Amino acid sequence: MKNFIKEFKEFSVKGNMIDLAVGIIIGSVFGKVVSSLVSDVIMPPIGLLLGKVDFSNLYINLSGRSYPSLAEAQKAGAATINYGLFINTIIGFVVTAFAVFLIIKMMNRWRAKKAVADAPVTKSCEYCTSKIPMGARRCPQCTADLV
């Protein structure tokens, strides 16, 4: 049992586990921010442009009775197809996917810069093993032609 606890401690405090936990926490908060962005910032102007439509209140009532809003229909227990909320969710997905795309693109750019900075600037001559610049075609020490 003591060995099991020791293994679990090593596993749980590894850098990857902590990075994963931080990623999950930030991801959940990011989801809330995107939801608010869509419902509170993006959808109201779109609804206004489309004739003062509130997307979150668009639904198809399957019960046959009339209700003034989706909240009232749900409160009464009516069966509804909430296509307005689905539209909000799709737009939220697109915004999230675009934000993740921009983050990945930025990270790839940083990695490319780091790879260039970490690239070796010299190589060894295959004939005399002296250090020469990467772009050299002839070794300055032994004058051998380099491929």
- Tens of pLDDT, residues 11-26: 777 767 777 888 889 8
Average pLDDT over residues 24-34: 86
The answer to whether 81 touches 62, Cβ cutoff 8 Å, is: yes
> According to the model, what pLDDT value does residue 41 have?
85
In the predicted model, is pLDDT for residue 75 greater than 70? yes
Mean predicted lDDT score pLDDT of the chain: 83
Q: Which structure tokens are listed for 52? A: 């003062």
Rounding to the nearest 10 degrees, give the CA dihedral for residues 77, 79, 83, 89.
50
Give pTM, 2 decimals: 0.56
Model pLDDT for residues 50-64, shown as the tens digit of each residue:
787 777 888 888 888
Half-sphere exposure of residue 91, counting CA atoms within 13 Å on the CB side? 20
Closest CA to 73 of 90, 88, 56, 86: 56
